[in-house]
Amino acid sequence: DILHANGKVYLSVPIGGGRKGGVIYVTSDRGKTWDTYYKMPEDAYFGYSAMVDMGGGDIGLAFESGGIENVRDISFVRISRQ
């Protein structure tokens, strides 16, 4: 998923084979460079995802978390940056 918020662009993707682990990258220079904004444990299932601007600099992340056997499980994480 891609989100434009706070003058930045955020991209959430799985980082491991079989949709394991998830990461949110952020860029503030129109994609020339990308930094890791948030990283999930590498063994966590991370299917399709969606992000939302929660205001106050927080990002909401909803994602499939049930694994291949149970893709109906959806988790939500509110990510706050200090």
If pLDDT is split at 50, 70 and 90, which confidence band does 71 have?
low
If pLDDT is split at 50, 70 and 90, which confidence band does 66 have?
confident
- pLDDT for 82 equals 53
Give 16 or 79, the one with higher predicted confidence.
79
What is the pTM (predicted TM-score) of this model?
Answer: 0.85
d(CA 1, CA 74): 15
| Tens digits of residue pLDDT in 3-48 | 999 889 999 999 877 788 899 999 999 999 999 999 988 888 898 8
